[in-house]
Amino acid sequence: MKLAINGGEKLRENPFPAYNTIDKQEEKAVLKVLRSGKLSTYLGTWHEDFYGGSEVQALEYEWANFFNVKHAISVNSATSGLYAAIGAIGIKAGDEVIVSPYTMSASATAILLYGGIPVFADVEDKYFCIDPQSVEKLITPKTKAIMAVDIFGQTADFKALKKIAQKHNLKIIEDSAQAPAAKLGDKFTGTLGDIGVFSLNYHKHIHSGEGGIIVTNDDDLAFKMQLIRNHGETVLAAKGYEDKKELHNMLGFNFRMTEIEAAIARVQLSKLDELIEQRIDNVKYLEEKLQNIPCLEIPPLRDEAKHVYYIHPLLFKEKSIACHRNKFIDAVKAELPPTLMRDDSPVLLSYGYVKPLYLQPLYQEKICFGEYPFSLSERVYKEGDCPVCEKLHNDILITHELMRPGMSKEDLDDVIKAFEKVWKNKEELL
C-alpha cells in the first residue's frame, strides 16, 4: 500500500500557505478612515451624500478608470449588484431571463427577486460558460435578458451572445464576480454586456471583506442602480421625477458600501494586476507537468481570451483509466494538506463545481416568496435539462484553488507530485 487513501504515507503534511493579500497599506487606509470618524456618509434622501462618501466615490472613479467604463457603482456585495442590475433593466413578474446553471446561486436568485423566471441554458463542454446555441433554443416571447457568467475567470462567448441579444432585443447582464481584469480581445469582462457585476468578497481575487461593484456605459441604467442601491423611492419626488413613470416602482434597498470597505478596496485594486499575473504563472507551471498525466486534459482557452483563474479547471479523461473521477481525486486529496486560513475546509481540490442550480431544492420545490414567482410559469426544472453541465458535474470536471498567489514553486511541485503518485499507483484504486 503506497497511497495515503489506502493507509500509506501522505505526500505532504505541512499545510499550504495562506492566501492573504492584506498588509500595511490596507491597515493605513483603514486607520485614516477610522480617525476621520466618517465611517459612512450616505444619506437615503435627496442630498449630495446620496452618492456616498469620499472613499466610496474615489473607489468608483478609480474602478471606472481601470476598467475603461463610464460608470462604476459600489455596493455591499455582488449579490446586491446582481439584484440592482435585474431591477434596472426592468424585469417584471413573469419575464424570463436565460442563465447558466453552473454558477453561484445569486446569478439566478437576482431574477427571482423581481418576479422573473430563471430559464437555464446548457454550458460549453470546454469553457463551462453559457452555451449560445442552447440560449437561442430557449428564447420565447417572454425572454427579456441573458445573464452570462464569466465562470472560473474566463469570459463567456460574448461575440455570439451579443448577436443573439441584438436579434431578439434582449439585455445582457454579465456576472464577472470571478473574472476581474479578464479580457476578450482588448476589452475587460464586465464591460462586454449592458451591465457587469464584480465581487469583493473575502474569497475573490481582491476583496474588502464584503463588497461589489457594478459597471455600465449607460447613464440611464447607472442612475437606476444608484436609486436601487439607496432607498430610491424616497428621493424621486424630491428630485422632481413625478412624471417619470418608468421610475415610479424604483423600490430602493440599502446596498451601500462603507468608507472602510471602500478604502480597503482601493488598495486592493492597485494590487489586482500583480495578483492575476501570479495566478497565470502558477497555472502555467502546473499545466506544463499535469498535461503529462494521461487521465488529465487541460481545457483550451477561448480565442482572444485572457483567463484570470479564480478557479483552475481540469478535465478527467474517463476512457484513460478504469476508475471514476471521484475516486481518483479523493486519492489525490488524501496525499495533500489543507491550506492555512482555510484549514477548516479540506484540501482545496474537488470534483465538479456547484450542483447545477435547477437541481437544487429552490427550483425542485419551486418555493420562493411562497409560490411566487414560479406560479406565473409552467416551466419545470428536471434532471436532463442541461446534459453537458450534468456530465461535467457528475464525471468530468475537476476544480482547484491550489494556484493562488502565495504558493511557491515547491508547493506547486507537491500538487504535481500528488497527481503523479496517484497515477503511478492507480492499480490500488481499481
Ligand X SMILES: *Cc1c(COP(=O)(O)O)cnc(C)c1O
Closer residue to ligand X (CB): 25 or 109: 109
Strand positions, DSSP E, 68-115? 71-75, 96-99
Choose the stretch contacting ligand X; rule: CB under 6 A; options: 31-39, 86-94, 104-112, 255-263.
104-112
**What is the full DSSP assignment across 262-296?**
HHHHHHHHHHHHHHHHHHHHHHHHHHHHHTTSTTE
Please list every residue from 51 through 80 that binds ligand X, using CB under 6 A.
77-79
Closer residue to ligand X (CB): 149 or 215: 149
Closer residue to ligand X (CB): 128 or 328: 128
CA 317 to CA 45: how far, in whole Å? 58
Task: Report the Cα 129 to chain-centroid distance in Å.
Answer: 11
Choose the stretch contacting ligand X; rule: CB under 6 A; options: 11-19, 30-38, 100-108, 365-373.
100-108
Map grid coordinates 495566478 to a residue. Answer: 279
Closer residue to ligand X (CB): 261 or 335: 261
User: For 169, which DSSP code?
Assistant: T
| Residue 169 Cβ vs ligand X, minimum distance, rounded to whole Å | 25
Closer residue to ligand X (CB): 124 or 335: 124
Closer residue to ligand X (CB): 176 or 339: 176
From the list 349, 306, 342, the residue with the least C-alpha distance to 326 is 349
Site string for ligand X, 288-307 (x = CB under 6 A): --------------------
Side-chain half-sphere of 273: how many Cα atoms within 13 Å?
4
Q: Which three cell numbers stand for residue 123?
A: 454550458
Give the containing element (helix H, strand E) for 112.
Answer: helix 106-113
| Residue 130 Cβ vs ligand X, minimum distance, rounded to whole Å | 12
CA 101 to CA 223: how far, in whole Å? 30
Are 194 and 172 spatial neighbours (Cβ–Cβ below 8 Å)? yes
| Residue 265 Cβ vs ligand X, minimum distance, rounded to whole Å | 12
Which residues partner with 149 through β-bridges? Answer: 175
How many residues make contact with ligand X (CB under 6 A)? 14
Closer residue to ligand X (CB): 33 or 149: 149
| Residue 210 Cβ vs ligand X, minimum distance, rounded to whole Å | 6
| Residue 401 Cβ vs ligand X, minimum distance, rounded to whole Å | 12
Largest distance between two CA atoms of the chain = 77
Closer residue to ligand X (CB): 67 or 419: 67
181: left (phi over 0), alpha (psi -120 to 50) or beta: left
Choose the stretch contacting ligand X; rule: CB under 6 A; options: 98-106, 154-162, 182-190, 268-276.
98-106
| Residue 32 Cβ vs ligand X, minimum distance, rounded to whole Å | 24
CA 402 to CA 398: how far, in whole Å? 12
| Residue 102 Cβ vs ligand X, minimum distance, rounded to whole Å | 10
| Residue 46 Cβ vs ligand X, minimum distance, rounded to whole Å | 28
CA 199 to CA 178: how far, in whole Å? 7
Please list every residue from 203 through 222 that binds ligand X, using CB under 6 A.
212
Cis peptide before 373 (omega within 30 of 0): yes
Q: Which three cell numbers stand for residue 100?
A: 447558466
| Residue 302 Cβ vs ligand X, minimum distance, rounded to whole Å | 17
Site string for ligand X, 173-202 (x = CB under 6 A): --x-xx--------------------x-x-
Of 91, 130, 149, 392, the one binding ligand X (CB under 6 A) is 149
Q: Which three cell numbers stand for residue 225?
A: 442602480
Closer residue to ligand X (CB): 81 or 337: 81
From the list 408, 369, 372, 198, the residue with the least C-alpha distance to 282 is 408
Q: Check binding of 104 to ligand X (CB under 6 A).
A: yes
How many CB atoms sit inside 10 A of residue 371's CB?
11
Judged by the rule CB under 6 A, the positions of this chain that interact with ligand X are: 77-79, 103-104, 106-107, 149, 175, 177-178, 199, 201, 212
